[in-house]
Amino acid sequence: MADRQYELVYILPPETAEQQATELHQQVESIVSRMNGAIEKTENWGRKRLAYEIGRNKEGIYVLEVINGSGELMKELDRRLRVMDQVVRHMVVRVDEEKKTIERTRTKRQSESERRRVKRGLPPQRQPGEGRSQERDDIDDDRYDGVEV
């Protein structure tokens, strides 16, 4: 089975010490390495207010892990995190399909743009200084990323 990319987000209680969070990350890391996976990225989002109260917690420490591995690995992680008292909530999302969709949409838009330019007698690629100037906000505009056309 091919490795897929997943995002694991888990929430720890607000009173969790930094060392406890590190120990939990090491446990996740050992499970991932034992089952031939790899952690691509870890982000500690810090303490945030929960959307609704979970148990007696109104806040939590959010941690994101981007993991490359198999479905079996994610089932095992899900099972382990479910029984840990230290984890308030967790969620696993497969993201490789979304990235394929985004890339497919971006490629389709690029080819359509090139086709229209050639039809109008222009070179397929934009030349420097051609067209309206883009503001800095427009360059980073990603509102349409991931939209299926």
Q: What pLDDT score was predicted for residue 144?
A: 58
pLDDT digits (tens, 9 = 90+) for 37-87: 999 999 999 999 999 999 899 999 999 999 999 989 999 999 999 999 899
pLDDT, residue 44, reads 93
148 dihedral zone (left: phi>0; alpha: psi -120 to 50; beta) = beta
Question: Are 86 and 16 in contact, with CB atoms under 8 Å apart?
Answer: yes
What six digits make up the tokens of 14?
């607000």
CATH, range 4-94: 3.30.70.60
146 band by pLDDT with thresholds 50, 70 and 90: low
Asked if 67 contacts 26 with a C-beta cutoff of 8 angstroms, the reply is: no
For the entire predicted model, the pTM comes to: 0.66
Indicate the angle between helix axes 71-83 and 18-34, nearest 10 degrees: 150
pLDDT in tens, 22-45: 999 999 999 999 999 999 999 999
